[in-house]
Amino acid sequence: MSFAISTAILFAFSAICNTKVSRMMDQITANLIRLLIATFILGAMTLIIEPRSFHSDASKWLIFSGIVGFGIGDIALFIALSKIGSRLTILINFCTATLVGALSDWIWLGDAIKAETLIYIFCILAGLSIALYPKSLGSNNTNSYKIGIIAATIAGFGQGIGASISRHATIIADYNEVTIGGISQAFQRVFAGFIFLLIIFLIKKFTARGEIRSTVAKKPIHWLIFATLFGPVLGVSCFQASLQTMTSGESMAIVATSPIILIPLAFVFEKDKPTILSFLGGIFAIIGVIGMVLSS
């Protein structure tokens, strides 16, 4: 259980660091550097601990999962963080990922959706509706706010679908009696996300003729390092370690408290004070997430 609790805390701190970075520099550049650092760290750990944890078919799916989750998903995540902050971004992202992941598992992997799961889905959607209710009439109608909500939702889609693809890769590996541990899975997915972002970065640089915003002036390198360690490196590693002693449902139920842990952190670091409605809506949505994960 300690690993699952650590994951929830690490993910919350990672969101804070990612928000700082996303507001200091170009989102694609920021995420590219973050994944570059994570690739080197996870790659070294994989070569030392799990050098034989690769399989041609399974690794192809892990690469695809990394493109969807860490590539497309994280670009949207960083855009959302810069627009609406960490509290709302992570709440929307986590809830959407849970819903999309369950739907993807049902359609693709054949996992059944129970009747009680539909109730929890209603709780999640109702909670999000309450949490996103405007503080005052018209206060949430700005373009920046709308873009942030859409981006956070897209990030949730990327995370949810990416998780299903990873499960498919694990099934293939197990069938072929190949063990791909959590660190190796994280490395293969992060590396794929990095290559995808590198291609996007180069395309943007050449089409914009080098007009990408400079990152030298504000020097957010320490936030980038913290974001990398708290998220792709320590956060994902702790989550995978939690699965060694707990079921995925039990672990995810604990990790689902991360948006709640994030509320006081967002207030301290971002001066983001939630309204009573947004606080209650967030709690209601997270209860729905926990119930949905445990019911599956």
What are the pLDDT digits (tens) for 210-268? 454 544 445 678 888 998 899 888 887 787 677 656 655 566 678 878 888 888 888 88
So what's the pLDDT on residue 247?
56
In angstroms, rounded to a whole number, what is the distance separating the alpha carbons of residues 186 and 39? Answer: 9
Q: Once rounded to an integer, what is the mean pLDDT over residues 268-279?
A: 85
Q: Does this model's pTM top 0.85?
A: no
Q: Once rounded to an integer, what is the mean pLDDT over residues 284-294?
A: 82
What percent of the chain has a predicted confidence (pLDDT) above 70? Answer: 89
With a CB cutoff of 8 Å and minimum separation 6, the contacts of 163 are 65, 69, 97, 101, 104
So what's the pLDDT on residue 274?
81
Residue 14 pLDDT class (50, 70, 90 cuts): very high
| DSSP per-residue codes, 123-152 | HHHHHHHHHTS-SSTTTT-SHHHHHHHHHH
pLDDT of 200 > 70? The answer is: yes
What are the pLDDT digits (tens) for 15-45? 999 888 888 888 888 888 889 999 999 999 9
So what's the pLDDT on residue 237?
77
In angstroms, rounded to a whole number, what is the distance separating the alpha carbons of residues 164 and 252? Answer: 14
Tokens 């939702």 sit on residue: 153
Tokens of 64: 């695809």
So what's the pLDDT on residue 216?
44
In angstroms, rounded to a whole number, what is the distance separating the alpha carbons of residues 22 and 82? Answer: 5
Amino acid at 223: W
In angstroms, rounded to a whole number, what is the distance separating the alpha carbons of residues 168 and 164? Answer: 6
Lowest-confidence region among 3-7, 77-81, 89-93, 116-120: 116-120
Asked whether the beta carbons of 61 and 165 are under 8 A apart, the reply is yes
Q: Once rounded to an integer, what is the mean pLDDT over residues 83-106?
A: 84
What are the pLDDT digits (tens) for 150-198? 999 999 898 888 888 888 888 898 888 888 877 888 889 889 999 999 9
Tokens of 77: 């995540």
